[in-house]
Amino acid sequence: MKTPLILIACLFACNQRQVSPPVVTKNAEYSKADSFLYRHQRDSAFYYFNKIVSGSKDSLLIASSYNNMAVIVADAGDYFGSQDYLLLSLRYLDERQESNFYCLSSDYNELGGTSLRLKNYDAALNYYDLAIKYAQDDVFKQIFLNNKAVVYKDQKNFSGAIAIYDTIIHKTGSDRKAYAMILSNRANVRWLKDSSYNAAQELSTALQIRTEVQDPWGQNASYAHLSDYYTSSHPDSALIYANKMYAKARELDSPDDEVQALQKLIRLSPPQHIKPYFARYQYLSDSIQTARNTAKNQYALIRYDAEKNKAENLRLQKDNANKRLQIIEQRVMIYSAIGAVVLIIFLYLKRRQQLALEAENRIRKDRLKTSQKIHDVVANGLYRMMTEIEYQSAIDKEALLDKIETMYEQSRNISYEQPAAVEDYQAEIAQLLMAFSTDKVKVIIVGNYKELWSQLNNTVKIEAKHILQELMINMKKHSQASNVVIKFEQQDNQINIQYTDDGVGLPADYKMGNGLTSTENRIKNINGKLIFATNTKKGLKIQITFPFV
């Protein structure tokens, strides 16, 4: 969640004017870009910043433009693209010149932020230290230190985060907004470190200050902290603050914060109230991703058009000055094409031999896989359909016929090896899991984000879906559970799936049936692991991990 101070650091540190002379000499295009950015017309701002980096000879002006372009694409969710622009910005800066320090500190702060979002914590800490090194203003040093504390919190190095907050909280002076932010963050981290720590008074004091100074973003953050704090001890209070966060996020028109609030409401609300929150959550998640993808493509097209025009001009100049060289190049291309054709024919013949051998091996494997496909598509599909119908007061005949027709088509094509491409995998997983949520069984999903699944190929997605389906069917048949939690998270280069229920658990002499045996085989096929927790007094806990590639 962004705080106002962090926003100021991200957007204006490179061009801050209060302590030293201007860091850039603005030209007309930079003034236009700055004006568009101030009015939140980011596509137009990006266009003019890109014109500057393509045509200006002022190194500091170019560096500042790249910095702003990095911030714009980071806001659109393109963190790798943002890092590329920031590294380009650093190439135009001289660490020995004091006039470059503001832009240097801003570049390193932004690199720290993108590294944090990509969970590269060591890099984030290093970049924030560099940002602090070049910061010439105590206000910005406090901002960068606060950002560093956030990294420590995400690393679960709570002591390190608390030490930073203890250092900077006394330097806020009369800035009550900054004091409330640090007070709330410090109380939250102290509670995360020690769940018995009484953080209520500090969190409430921070919220009161933020309300008095009319800091809506700060209030939003306080509601989130208070909801998390009361989740275990006073769920009713946690629900109240989650509702307040939801209302404030909508007032601020912040979809990201609204999604966070909806996650809390889904987790805390009674089962009969979850459905509208879940529907809103799905809609927002899709809308945010769509908007960010559109923005990414738009900025890429702006750069592409600019580079295309620049390349076209260079090509025309080269054509006029180097006609003879062009003829030579054409001949080289012809000879290269002939060589490529010969090579392609050779590789084609060799590939045919290889494919023939692979086909023989596939025939052997197909017989084994067909029985597994029948189990996944027909048996589990029917059981899932029965589960959905069982708790419906009225049956939608058309929807039921559509599902039967889908299963029929899948059954007809069961011999085909290549699975269909997954259009919206996040929604498909959510729909699969929530199909098992009934009046008696509450299913809670945590961490099912599109970004989590985007790194998986289609085959692994299909296997993961069947694994989750088998777990839920096993739960439905045997667990007698009232609450089921499925948590997804990324750790290093792998996905962790944690399944937990409060059912009867597994008996000591339990032997896996065909379903879980099939599940274990699937996990092995994608180089994963399945671990049953043995120290639970009640219920069942299963840990599944598998790599992205």
Is position 58 within any domain?
Answer: yes
Helix (H, G, I), strand (E, B) or coil at 438: coil
Distance (Å, whole) CA 513 – CA 501: 19
Mean pLDDT across the stretch 241-270?
91
At 467-501, the pLDDT tens digits run 999 888 888 888 889 999 999 998 888 999 999 99
Last residue of a domain, one of 330, 364, 398: 364
Are 464 and 532 in the same domain?
A: yes
Are 426 and 503 in the same domain?
A: yes
Are 335 and 431 in the same domain?
A: no
Are 218 and 142 in the same domain?
A: yes
Are 305 and 206 in the same domain?
A: no
Are 156 and 44 in the same domain?
A: yes
The answer to whether 546 and 523 have CB atoms below 8 angstroms apart is yes
Of the candidates 29, 105, 119, the one whose C-alpha atom is nearest the C-alpha of residue 65 is 29
Are 148 and 52 in the same domain?
A: yes
Range of the domain at 530: 422-547
At 155-203, the pLDDT tens digits run 999 999 999 999 999 888 888 998 999 999 999 999 999 999 999 999 9
Specify the range with the lowest mean pLDDT, choosing from 52-61, 100-109, 361-370. Answer: 361-370
Are 431 and 349 in the same domain?
A: no
What are 443's two structure tokens?
């299913």
Q: Quote the number of domains for the chain.
A: 3
Is position 267 within any domain?
Answer: no
Is pTM beyond 0.75? Reply is no
CATH code for the domain of 460: 3.30.565.10
Last residue of a domain, one of 319, 336, 364: 364
Rg (C-alpha) for the chain, rounded Å, is: 28
Are 57 and 181 in the same domain?
A: yes
The answer to whether 5 and 137 have CB atoms below 8 angstroms apart is no
Give Cα separations from 117 to 150, 408, 441, 457, 474 (angstroms).
Answer: 11, 43, 34, 22, 36
pLDDT for the residue 26: 63
Report the DSSP beta bridge partners of residue 490. 495
Terminal-to-terminal C-alpha distance of the chain: 30
* Residues 6 or more apart in contact with residue 183 via CB below 8 angstroms: 169, 202, 205, 206, 209
Mean pLDDT across the stretch 406-427?
62
Helix (H, G, I), strand (E, B) or coil at 491: strand
Is position 318 within any domain?
Answer: yes
CATH code for the domain of 213: 1.25.40.10
Last residue of a domain, one of 343, 364, 385: 364
Sort 38 into a burial class: Cβ within 10 Å, 0-12 / 13-18 / 19+.
exposed
Looking at this protein, which amino acid is placed at residue 214? Q
Are 111 and 194 in the same domain?
A: yes
Looking at this protein, which amino acid is placed at residue 132? I
Distance (Å, whole) CA 147 – CA 168: 12
Query: In degrees rounded to 5, what are phi and psi of residue 486?
Result: -120, 120
